[in-house]
Structure 1
Amino acid sequence: MLCLPSSLFPAMASATVPNSKLKLLASTALISHRTISGRRSPPAAILAVQLAIHRYPRLVVSRATDDGAGSIGADQVSGIEAFKSSAPGAGYVGLFVRMLGIDNDPLDREQAIIALWKYSQGGKTCIDEIMQFRGCITLTINLLKSESLSTCEAAAGLLRTISSVNPYRDSIAGSGAIEEITGLLSRSFLAAEVKEQTLCTLWNLSVDEKLREKIASTELLPALIKFLDDEEVKVQEAAGGVLANLALSHSNHSIMVEAGVIQKLAEILKSREGSNVTRKEAKSVLLEMAKDEYHRILILEEGLLLVPIIGAAAYKSFRPVSHSWPSLPDGTELERSSSSPSRFGASELLLGLNIKDEGLNMEEAKMNAIVGRTQQQFLARIGAIELENGRKPQLELPPDNQHTLLPWMDGVARLVLILGLDDQSAIARAAQSIADAAINEHMRISFKEAGAVQHLVQLLGHDSDAVRVSVAHALERLAFSNEVCKVIESNGVVDRIVDILKNMNTSKCLVEKTVNILARIFDPSKEMKTDLHYGSVNGSEAVLDVGSRSSEGVTRDKVLDSSVWSRLIEILKTPNPNLQKKAASILEYLAITEPHMLTTTAANIELGLVAVFQQGFFDVTEENIDNEPELSVVQAEEVGSAISAASQLLTKLLDSEPFHSSINSTRLILLLRKVLKSSIPLHAKDWVAACLVKLESSAGFPVNLDNPINMEVTLYGTIPRLLEQIRTSFSTEMQEAAVVELNAVIAKGGVDCTRAVAAQGGIFPLVKMIENASGDALEASLAILYNLSMDSENHVAIVTAGAIPLLRRLVLSEGPQWRHALHLLRTLPT
């Protein structure tokens, strides 16, 4: 490279260089360049202009905003007019642009692009001057292919400054910049400076919503994720900035998730290391993605919890106990190592933070709960609980829409702390976040150990309906864990729910959620499975702890109040399949524990069951039997679940002779037969068919009623053929197909088909299928045997075939069909 002595252009040392003198220097340098012999050297005019520009303040890099997105660009410095007066004129800019042509020497092109890059840093006016020359963008993008890292850096730098001006972004993207940048970033080796300038160009381009989808659809996402681990901090920040802008478009979320963005950004946030800018960008991306329920679950599975930002004022109501000794969530204190607490509670704080180092024999979940609570309470006491990096978060949206992301241990403790504040809005938002986070057993147990259950149960009696709805939703989600459900019940939730149900002014939403909680507590299948674990099926050999059962009885007595179960019967009549299903489940529990109470209101229960079976789609009159409206898939599933639960309830109630004698069996049989012809799922019809078998058998209903299928062909053709296939076929697939088909026939044919199966010796091969089948075939075998068990004459054959040990094994294995096996087991003598 040609080095020019300072004596050649002494005026460069001055603050202002006259334009005429600059032109003279450039001309002299060009003449000198032509007279030099030997190897090619860069035009001295370019160097002179570079040095002249370099004498002035460089561009201040700042972050611009456009539609909420960030970009890196150039703002004009205060002395821009002085700069313009001494900078090269349009003629020189045009000269440099022409020198970018591919027919010029590579070294000349390199010096030209460097000169233009430096000149563009003068601000928007300089950029506008460069953009007056058509083809400048195309020639600059072409230089991204250069093997020279200096050329690539300057070209990317010029694109970066130009793209900081809104009107020019489309021109850059339309000229193929994104595609060339993709190729450049895929190189095996690239200098940090080149990566920084290139990524900042993408950062600017991604401000435009139209360009985000184009950037996300290329192969850039893997590269952006890789650059988050770059050794250069500026490269990390630029990659994070591009991802933050891409996340502003919801259409990009699925592509970003598939590329592994959530896992990588969650790792950055959990590490508590790295640049604050990168961590802020990572949080911004994840918060945008958390607006989608599915993506929120993926973020939670990575160990991050969405926590509402409620403002410092809400924490003023936090009143920690002075000199409080760390204790377990249930209030049990740890053993003190000294007779009195320290003066300022320092020893208690240290013990809470270092509980894992104390050598205590304690579960890890309990230790995490203590550490998280200690940290969050300490931050609340010093007023720093919502400060980030020593500063308050900048809230651009209303506080009700603001959230942050915390590691799950801190997030659980923060949410439990908020439940103890006075702010109603904060409590409701925290309860909603708990409900959203309770997606697996680990999180439910974590909230239980942190003491959330006690707070939530107490808050069910809150004056605010919004708080009670959010709290009930949280308890409903937590109750999916049997362990947590027991803790919820032991904290007196039944009393709270009874008070809510008795109040006729309670909102429908709150009634639905409290009924869901009650259904989880009074789940008949859970009760029967508990009995089975203790060696009893029908209760004759129960060895459960009497004290535990009696304590449960104390809390459940209030449900037996007449006003409560009357309310449940009224819920059966409401056109809400989900509520009908839960109400039927609770009433089934009552039918098991206190059958005499439901017998006294048989007429009302029958009306409720009729309402469930009809569901607004069925009419019991014979004239309209074939005019059933078509159900959507979702409607059919919901209605089918409600009808199935009601059928289980009716089957249980039929064990009571007073109940059976007080109902209109003919009407119910007609309804159930019509339900079998409806479009509800087949698995829901299993329970309907079983109930119909029992109802027809006990009522002596005539066989000559219209059936959904041709009875003669079915009884003497189809059923014998299917049973023979189950007995003799050497193909497991054919046997399983025959069982599934036989189940479908029985579901349509009712009691006559069931009797035909028993009469032709079908019980023994069906019991054998339980041992060997799986999936749908196993479920079909259990359904057929359950229908057969509705007739007590078949019990001996089922037991003799060896069904009892097989059913016990299925229940204890907790496979997909354990509930079906349990219900069948309950009907058999043991």
Structure 2
Amino acid sequence: MASMPTWTPLHLELKVLHQHPTPFMAVTRIINPRSSVSVGKLSLLSARCSFVKRASNSDGVPAEASPKPSDVGVIKDNASSGPGYVGLFVRMLGLDNDPLDREQAVVTLWKYSQGGKDCIDGVVRFPGCINLVVSLLKLDSMTTCEAAAGLLRTISSVSIHRDVVIECGAVEEIVGLLCKSCLTSEVKEQSLGALWNLSTDEKVAVKIAKSDFLPMLIKFLDDEEIKVKEGAGGVLANLALTPTNHSNLVEAGVIPKLASLLKTKDDGFKVIRKEAKTTLLELCKDEYFRILVTEEGLVRVPLVGAAAYKAFKPVSYSWPSLPDGTEIQKNSRPSRYGASELLLGLNVRDNLNLSEAKMNAMIGRSQQQFLARIGAIELEDGRKVHSDSSQRQQYTLLPWIDGVARLVLILGLEDISAISRAAYSIADAATSEHMRISFKEAGAVRLLVQLLDHSNDGIKEAAALALDRLSNSSEVRRTIDAEGVLSPLINILKSKNTSQSLLEKVVNILSRIFDPGKDVKQKNKAINGSSEVVLTNAHSSDKIEGSSKQLDTFLQPDLTTREMIDSGVIARFVETFRISSPDLQVKIVSILDYVVTSELHVTALIEAGIESGLDAVFEQGSSNVVEDDDDSKLEEDIVKAEEIGLVIAAASRLLSKLLDFEQFRRGIDSRSFVFKLRNILRSNIPLHAKEWAAACLVKLEAHFGSLADLGHRIDMEVTLYETIPRLVEQIRTSAFDESQEAAAQELYEVVASRGLVECSRAIATCGGIFPLVKLIDEGHALEASLAILYNLSMDSENHPAIIAAGAVPILKRIVLTKGPQWTRALHLLRTLPT
């Protein structure tokens, strides 16, 4: 076999008539005249150059001159007779060649590589080829950059070559190219396409997600060219496949951009919609990010398979009705195939005077039921989704109107897995008042309540979780109660086979039904005239005019509901209370606080051991005590302290209520409760919990008398550890001058009546000096504030704090202005070391 000719670069002085040389001219310019190239081989090379000329259209050559599959086949067939052909153009990429030659070579190789894997292998087999192509990305020629990026895109489409492309630094050079301004759409398209292929490597994906290039990548989603959008969307979809990238993607603002593209109806956006859906579904695997996607008007819906919808059989000649069950007045004959309901749903805005939520529910239901009737409800990308096990774990994203209706439709099917997944999806989507009301209007509440009686425990738990999330809305909560949810919840509680997780969900629902605290606050606002509250039930909306009579009616306990809580249920509550988390304990206590209205229920609580349960809670709260002579505060986790405080507040309210019953008072150890509650007042739990503990202590003293052997009197303990810290906090945090002045005046009266030394020490301990000085500086409650600060100045240990608070210049200003309180300010100033 003849040896390959050796080419050495030698530029000849030739006149080129065209702006850019043809490939044959480029070859002529690099041929060494002294090399022995046979005429036959040169003829073969010239023949092949005819193909090269047709392959290049970078300089305005008509599109019909582009390479055809048959042309690529000719080159592949002749490769064995001229193995140096591809290598020739690879050598033309060298840095010592003319930029125009390099441009023509990379364009030719790009077109040639589009012939398939064999052509790509033929290019890559030359050592250093990819390095030379990557170096072309730094040139200013857009044609060269486009061809180089396109060639890298083609090469990286073959997985076995992808690592080599990455190792040659292609990712960094492509990112640097995309960061340039004034790029053509073709360069962006090919560069993003190459990056799309390369980002399938997890290391590359992580590097891109952590770089400053990510915001610019997201910005490409706003590009006018659809191909550029698709390239950026493809890269983002690959980045989202790595969970560690999710935070970076969300922080960069990818969710609103992709949600907007996904909701676009343009047929040309098919690819970008697919990539947007892929990315958002990956982000939805995180609970918090799923909420952000829902806020953009998208709902994650499970794909349950076409077979599951066979159970959906609309009733023949059914008359249209609203999704919540309200019937519509009949004025014509219904259709056998449900057409009347479909048409009514599509024209509901013109035909009926309904609220926006009801109209959206009607439209969504009619559309989804129509798709189910014709068997096209799960058409993804023009084909049906199969119902095998892998497909049945998939999800899709729908606009919220269709998504809500689809989930409610699935709840009415027979497939256990489909029902369970739909219920969990409802729980995930019920993150806002708007979505919760939408599910209510779509008829989800009635179906979920019915599912609580299902024989399958998994469906029960999924339905309970959905109702738990929906019950965060007071309007939906009333609908849940009206649908008769109490009976199935009680049955679940009575069952010995109920799992702990299901029990917790049942307690959550009951605590919201039995605790009207939020509604009471709303009614108080309405009564005080600060706001108007609108209450909506399942059928109407009535405006509450604030009046005491209406408030009493609203808070009237439901005797039927209370009677359903029998001794067995109470015993289960107390048993769960002993072993539950602080959050669940608070909810159980709120339920028990509601039902403790008769001696029968109190007796059941005593028999179930509620005293020992309360004692254990108070023991937990009193374990961390700040001694009188200890100025340092215990370092405890803020969240944990808040949780313990909520439990103590709830337990104190329940204990106060139980103390009204003689049979409870007869059997308790009052000394133990008093001792633990007094320790709670000295602990570092939040003030709102100390307030309830103090009230309970006062009630214990009223029933059992003062226990002198325990130290201070109870009323003094309450003053030092609850009243004074609460008033200081009110002065510090209140936004109203009247509230601050009232707190300062009350604090002055407490100090004057309870004892100067101990009360002054308590004020200093809880940080009252700084807010008092600030109050004096603002000119509020001067007499009371100056008197308290003067009492504090009697202890020299408080002098540094008073001076640090800036009291000296403020007092001097008051003295110089000869105001009403200047003499008191002068006395205080004389006590300080100035």
Question: Shorter-chain TM-score: what band?
Answer: 0.7 to 0.9
Q: Is the 8 A contact 2:318 2:335 kept in 1?
A: no
Going from structure 1 to structure 2, the CA distance change for 1:487 and 1:555 (only over 3 Å counts) comes to farther
- Greater shift after overlay, 263-272 or 552-561? 552-561
- Deviation, 1:85, is 2.6
Other-structure match for 1:651 = 656
Other-structure match for 1:96 = 89
1:44 pairs with one of 24, 36, 44: 24
Q: Is the 8 A contact 1:524 1:588 kept in 2?
A: no
- Render the CA deviation track for 1:456-479: whole Å, top value 9, x for unaligned: 111111111111111111111111
- Deviation, 1:248, is 0.7
Question: 2:313 and 2:732 mapped to 1: Cα distance?
Answer: 75
1:543 aligns with 2:537: no
- Render the CA deviation track for 1:262-302: whole Å, top value 9, x for unaligned: 11111111122232221111111001010011110110000
Question: SS in structure 2 opposite 1:405?
Answer: strand
- Render the CA deviation track for 1:751-801: whole Å, top value 9, x for unaligned: 9999979xx9xxxx9xx99xx9xxxxxxxxxxxxxxxxxxxxxxxxxxxxx
1:598 aligns with 2:602: yes
Q: How does 1:349-498 map to 2 (within 5 A)?
A: 349-358=342-351, 360-393=352-385, 398-498=390-490
1:283 pairs with one of 274, 277, 280: 277
1:311 aligns with 2:301: no
- Aligned pair count? 700
Q: Which amino acid is 1:701 matched to?
A: S
Q: Is the 8 A contact 1:428 1:466 kept in 2?
A: yes
Question: 2:320 and 2:420 mapped to 1: Cα distance?
Answer: 27
Q: Structure 2 length as normaliser, TM-score?
A: 0.73
- Deviation, 1:107, is 1.5
Q: Which amino acid is 1:293 matched to?
A: E
Q: Is the 8 A contact 2:256 2:296 kept in 1?
A: yes
- Render the CA deviation track for 1:185-216: whole Å, top value 9, x for unaligned: 23443333222211111011111111111222
Q: Which amino acid is 1:491 matched to?
A: E
Q: Is the 8 A contact 1:156 1:201 kept in 2?
A: yes
Other-structure match for 1:695 = 700
- Deviation, 1:154, is 1.2
2:228 pairs with one of 204, 222, 235: 235
Question: 2:718 and 2:504 mapped to 1: Cα distance?
Answer: 46
- Render the CA deviation track for 1:236-274: whole Å, top value 9, x for unaligned: 322221111111111211121122211111111112223
Q: Which amino acid is 1:263 matched to?
A: P
Question: SS in structure 1 opposite 2:398?
Answer: strand
1:222 pairs with one of 203, 215, 220: 215
Question: 1:431 and 1:488 mapped to 2: Cα distance?
Answer: 15
Question: 2:442 and 2:732 mapped to 1: Cα distance?
Answer: 59
Other-structure match for 1:788 = none
Other-structure match for 1:828 = none
Going from structure 1 to structure 2, the CA distance change for 1:140 and 1:489 (only over 3 Å counts) comes to same
Q: How does 1:572-583 map to 2 (within 5 A)?
A: 572-583=577-588
- Deviation, 1:633, is 5.5
Other-structure match for 1:145 = 138
Q: How does 1:27-38 map to 2 (within 5 A)?
A: 36=15
1:115 aligns with 2:108: yes
**5+ unaligned residues in a row in structure 2: which ranges?**
28-45, 58-68, 529-546, 626-633, 776-834
1:686 aligns with 2:679: no
Question: 2:569 and 2:194 mapped to 1: Cα distance?
Answer: 66
Q: Is the 8 A contact 1:248 1:288 kept in 2?
A: yes
- Greater shift after overlay, 226-235 or 77-86? 77-86
Question: 2:412 and 2:396 mapped to 1: Cα distance?
Answer: 19
- Deviation, 1:697, is 4.1
Question: 1:731 and 1:333 mapped to 2: Cα distance?
Answer: 51
Going from structure 1 to structure 2, the CA distance change for 1:85 and 1:737 (only over 3 Å counts) comes to farther
Two-structure CA RMSD over aligned residues (Å):
4.7
Q: Structure 1 length as normaliser, TM-score?
A: 0.74
- Greater shift after overlay, 34-43 or 726-735? 726-735
Question: 2:757 and 2:678 mapped to 1: Cα distance?
Answer: 14
Q: Which amino acid is 1:553 matched to?
A: D
Going from structure 1 to structure 2, the CA distance change for 1:639 and 1:547 (only over 3 Å counts) comes to closer
Going from structure 1 to structure 2, the CA distance change for 1:223 and 1:393 (only over 3 Å counts) comes to farther
1:199 aligns with 2:199: no
Q: Which amino acid is 1:689 matched to?
A: A
Going from structure 1 to structure 2, the CA distance change for 1:270 and 1:598 (only over 3 Å counts) comes to same
Q: Is the 8 A contact 2:90 2:126 kept in 1?
A: yes
Question: 1:718 and 1:516 mapped to 2: Cα distance?
Answer: 31
Going from structure 1 to structure 2, the CA distance change for 1:683 and 1:115 (only over 3 Å counts) comes to same
Question: SS in structure 2 opposite 1:573?
Answer: helix
Q: Is the 8 A contact 1:372 1:409 kept in 2?
A: yes
Q: Which amino acid is 1:586 matched to?
A: I
Going from structure 1 to structure 2, the CA distance change for 1:373 and 1:133 (only over 3 Å counts) comes to same
- Render the CA deviation track for 1:475-504: whole Å, top value 9, x for unaligned: 111111111111111111111111222222
Q: Which amino acid is 2:379 matched to?
A: L
Going from structure 1 to structure 2, the CA distance change for 1:184 and 1:82 (only over 3 Å counts) comes to closer
Q: Is the 8 A contact 2:301 2:395 kept in 1?
A: yes
- Greater shift after overlay, 498-507 or 441-450? 498-507
Percent identity reads: 53
- Deviation, 1:156, is 1.0
- Render the CA deviation track for 1:361-418: whole Å, top value 9, x for unaligned: 2100000000001111111111111112431136897245211111111111111111
- Deviation, 1:651, is 2.1
Question: SS in structure 2 opposite 1:275?
Answer: helix
Going from structure 1 to structure 2, the CA distance change for 1:683 and 1:198 (only over 3 Å counts) comes to same
Other-structure match for 1:810 = none
- Greater shift after overlay, 211-220 or 372-381? 211-220
- Render the CA deviation track for 1:300-350: whole Å, top value 9, x for unaligned: 000000111111111111121223333223322223342x12454434311
- Deviation, 1:175, is 3.6
Question: 1:677 and 1:383 mapped to 2: Cα distance?
Answer: 68
Question: 1:545 and 1:673 mapped to 2: Cα distance?
Answer: 35
Q: Which amino acid is 1:109 matched to?
A: R
Q: Which amino acid is 1:700 matched to?
A: G
Q: Which amino acid is 1:326 matched to?
A: P
Going from structure 1 to structure 2, the CA distance change for 1:214 and 1:50 (only over 3 Å counts) comes to farther
Question: 2:184 and 2:482 mapped to 1: Cα distance?
Answer: 64
- Deviation, 1:160, is 1.4
Q: Which amino acid is 1:492 matched to?
A: G
Question: 1:645 and 1:302 mapped to 2: Cα distance?
Answer: 38
Question: 1:510 and 1:208 mapped to 2: Cα distance?
Answer: 42
Q: How does 1:338-353 map to 2 (within 5 A)?
A: 338=332, 340-342=333-335, 344-353=337-346
Question: 1:401 and 1:686 mapped to 2: Cα distance?
Answer: 51
Q: Is the 8 A contact 1:93 1:130 kept in 2?
A: yes
Question: 1:650 and 1:731 mapped to 2: Cα distance?
Answer: 34
Other-structure match for 1:208 = 201
Other-structure match for 1:638 = 643
Other-structure match for 1:626 = none
Q: Which amino acid is 2:362 matched to?
A: I
Question: 2:387 and 2:717 mapped to 1: Cα distance?
Answer: 75
Going from structure 1 to structure 2, the CA distance change for 1:490 and 1:547 (only over 3 Å counts) comes to farther
- Render the CA deviation track for 1:419-474: whole Å, top value 9, x for unaligned: 11111111111111111111111111001100111011111111111111111111
Question: 1:597 and 1:648 mapped to 2: Cα distance?
Answer: 16
